[in-house]
Structure 1
Amino acid sequence: MRKFFRKGVPVLVISTLVATGCSFGANEAANEMDAPPVSYIDEGDSLELEESEEGVDGEGDAEAPSKGEEGEDGDEGEAEADAVVEDVQRELYLIDENGLVVPQTLTLPKTESVLRQSLQYLVDGGPVTELLPNGFKAVIPAGTEVDVHLDDDGVAIADFSNEFKEYDPEQEQQILQAITWTLTQFDTVEKVKIRINGYDQEMMPQNGTPIGEGVSRANGINIESNGVADMVNSKSVTLYFLDQKGENTYYVPVTRRVGLGEDSLKAAVNELLQGPSYKSNLLTDFRNGVELLSDPLYENGVVTLNFNESLLSQLDAKAVSDAALNMLALTLTEQEGVEQVAVQVNGETNILHESGQMTQPVSRPEKVNTGSF
């Protein structure tokens, strides 16, 4: 049965994620994109953009600022003199109570070792404990020590102590996905490799999930088996649905396979309109009957989508919901070169969204799921 987002529940601010997914272990390169985001914020929401830092982890390997951020020219002497602890917002990929890997934006102390810190905050029982949203848990086994080195090819080598091996085998792919997507939020990290006590791992230690030359966002997240058996003649798209915890709502990325010959933009929209798998607890904010009237039009980084009037579900069927716009923006900006999404209904461009304002081309906000639980 199609499950819908419950109205009246606040929609959380969403953020930039990149790359179209494939299943873990596949060698296929997906259609990835990394476009500079222009923030779209729902009325009443706030978005605090922090200055990013250039840090050094491990043996002098330079780290990058978060995707969409600019590096800062800090005054080290002044910072030391003030001795003030600054905070920044980082995306950590955690596991929710349904076993899904979900980004949560948490406020962490500012540090130069941003890659190492991000992994330290994924360790169960570590510094993330008091920050965990209700229903979420950290993914790396308790007691694991972490280190990270970034090579010149953009490969982050995550080195763990022996405790890392003590995870639940059934959560192996979620753990690898969470580590990969957490580290690849930074601009210069393209892939992630795993070491244990300094030894490269060609596969994960419990169930043997392949790692090979490195795992990237192209390998997917929360991968659905949607009946596509032909991996050679199919490709992946990453979609964003909704989930609820009490009165709070968050966005969940899901990777699904479509036919290799299909237009990626059209396939992504159609899969999004199809809704979440009936096997999941995920929700949608698109009503039955919503459909595209023409193929997506791409020009200069903007995708224009022309829907029928069923898209209008708010303000007495005169406006499109903010959640639906956000789902579209998150999903389509995963595609290469897409920076913004413009929405039409029956060819008309003057469409209201539920706040009462006219819709403009929308793009991804900076951080995903920043609400408090």
Structure 2
Amino acid sequence: MRKRRLALVGVLAVTIAAATGCSATPEKTSAPQSTQGTGQGQQAENVMPTTVFVADQNGFVVPLNVKMEKTNSVAQATLQNMIAGGSGDASLVGTGFRNVLPEGTKIRGVSINEGVAKVDFTKEVNELKTSADEQAMVDAVVWSLTGLESINKVQFMVEGHMMNTLKNGTPIGDPISREGGINLQLTSNLSPSNATALTLYFEGKSNDSNFSYLVPVTRMVPKRADQNMIELTLAELAKGPHSDALEPVVSPELKLNKSAVAEKTATLDFASELAADGGSTNQMVNSIVLSVAANADVDKVKFTVGEKAPKASEGLDLTQPVLIPQTINEQKL
């Protein structure tokens, strides 16, 4: 795994130094208020950052922070941005990403009630060729909409009707939340009732290797009565991804001495300095912070080495706890 200079090509992994917020996934965003201005200031005020989930060249669903025109219909606008062949494709130029709602799809309506967004699509969403494409679409829609204020689940409808499954068998009968995971990895001999779901962040890269980005993967692992979610997360990160299309970001040699949580801050004490195995220490820190926050109820992560502050590396200042970022991958337009 080689360190890449992401800023030169447009997709940025999350920048810890500038990160604010308290969620491993993008912050819940309420409908924006109208603003006034002139010239470039007006143009900037009329744009809102929004996280949409797209598919990379290997079919993984990936969060991407894009700029959209401000609107009070944020859920509708987010879905419109995700239609292949539509205006949202402009944000994906040069990334290798693609939008997952089929070309020609129309959003017949969106209603939100008690945390459930009921979305009515036209028939194109039920004409995908494979179950993998269907699941990627469902994951992308659910994770995009549940990143918005007041939406916790998504109910799919097609041409005004509720359906138990899509054409290739993907379940959509009940409202779907993030608890179902994303880019789900299943083990054939592991029963879901005896498993723990962990969301882990690994590194993806474009086919030309000019940029990298973080990919959330939900992995099912055997449930244990005495499991410590933070230690379990670090152990699974060290095992690396279960796909050749993703790269590990945490070296197996990086040993966690102990962990503790106090006032929603996780403290991770390591046996040695935070050095990535041939890769980027910055990317490794990003992966650890996002993965720990995804699996434990914390707002910050503090790093120590032998109970002391780590040495500075790649411009990282880890003397203070790291806040969970609002955005993960950002397209620089």
Distance in 1 (CA, whole Å) between partners of 2:313 and 2:204 is: 21
1:69–1:126 CA distance, 2 compared to 1 (3 A): closer
Contact 1:13 1:365 in 2 (8 A): no
The match for 2:49 is: 89
Q: Classify the secondary structure of the residue corresponding to 2:322.
A: coil
The match for 1:282 is: 246
Contact 1:96 1:135 in 2 (8 A): yes
Distance in 1 (CA, whole Å) between partners of 2:29 and 2:101 is: 27
Residue type matched to 2:237 in 1? L
Q: Classify the secondary structure of the residue corresponding to 2:217.
A: strand
Distance in 1 (CA, whole Å) between partners of 2:5 and 2:33 is: 40
Residue type matched to 1:165 in 2? N
Greater helix content? 2
The match for 2:3 is: 7
The match for 1:20 is: none
Q: How does 1:62-73 map to 2 (within 5 A)?
A: 67-69=27-29
TM-score for both structures, normalised by structure 2: 0.85
Contact 2:196 2:221 in 1 (8 A): yes
Q: Classify the secondary structure of the residue corresponding to 2:6.
A: coil
The match for 1:120 is: 80
* Per-residue deviation, 1:280: 2.8
1:102-133 deviation digits (Å, cap 9, x = unpaired): 11111111111110111111111111122214
Q: Which runs of 4+ in 1 moved over 6 A?
A: 46-49
* Per-residue deviation, 1:363: 2.1
1:338-357 deviation digits (Å, cap 9, x = unpaired): 10111111222344232163
* Per-residue deviation, 1:145: 0.7
The match for 1:271 is: 236
1:229–1:176 CA distance, 2 compared to 1 (3 A): same
The answer on 1:342 being equivalent to 2:317 is: no
1:152–1:332 CA distance, 2 compared to 1 (3 A): same
1:166-215 deviation digits (Å, cap 9, x = unpaired): 21223111110011011111121000010011111222x22222223211
Residue type matched to 1:92 in 2? V
1:104–1:72 CA distance, 2 compared to 1 (3 A): closer
- Find 1:193's aligned residue among 152, 155, 160: 155
Q: How does 1:291-306 map to 2 (within 5 A)?
A: 291-294=255-258, 296-306=259-269
Contact 1:222 1:255 in 2 (8 A): yes
Residue type matched to 2:193 in 1? V
Contact 2:66 2:330 in 1 (8 A): yes
Distance in 1 (CA, whole Å) between partners of 2:123 and 2:325 is: 38
* Per-residue deviation, 1:138: 1.0
TM-score for both structures, normalised by structure 1: 0.76
1:128-150 deviation digits (Å, cap 9, x = unpaired): 12221431111111111114433
The answer on 1:232 being equivalent to 2:228 is: no
* Per-residue deviation, 1:70: 6.4
The answer on 1:249 being equivalent to 2:249 is: no
The answer on 1:221 being equivalent to 2:196 is: no
1:140–1:282 CA distance, 2 compared to 1 (3 A): same
Q: Classify the secondary structure of the residue corresponding to 1:129.
A: helix
The answer on 1:41 being equivalent to 2:16 is: yes
1:70–1:113 CA distance, 2 compared to 1 (3 A): closer
Distance in 2 (CA, whole Å) between partners of 1:325 and 1:222 is: 21
Distance in 2 (CA, whole Å) between partners of 1:108 and 1:200 is: 30
**Number of equivalenced pairs:** 316
- Find 1:309's aligned residue among 263, 272, 275: 272
1:96–1:209 CA distance, 2 compared to 1 (3 A): same
Q: Classify the secondary structure of the residue corresponding to 2:192.
A: coil
Q: Classify the secondary structure of the residue corresponding to 1:309.
A: coil
Distance in 1 (CA, whole Å) between partners of 2:96 and 2:16 is: 25
Distance in 1 (CA, whole Å) between partners of 2:324 and 2:199 is: 14
Distance in 1 (CA, whole Å) between partners of 2:151 and 2:205 is: 31
The match for 1:177 is: 139
Q: Classify the secondary structure of the residue corresponding to 1:258.
A: strand
The answer on 1:209 being equivalent to 2:176 is: no
RMSD over aligned Cα atoms: 2.9
Q: Classify the secondary structure of the residue corresponding to 1:298.
A: strand
1:336–1:211 CA distance, 2 compared to 1 (3 A): farther
Q: Classify the secondary structure of the residue corresponding to 1:106.
A: strand
Give the share of equivalent positions with the same residue, in percent.
Answer: 27
The answer on 1:142 being equivalent to 2:103 is: yes
1:201–1:356 CA distance, 2 compared to 1 (3 A): closer
Structure 2 segments unaligned to the other structure (5+ residues): none
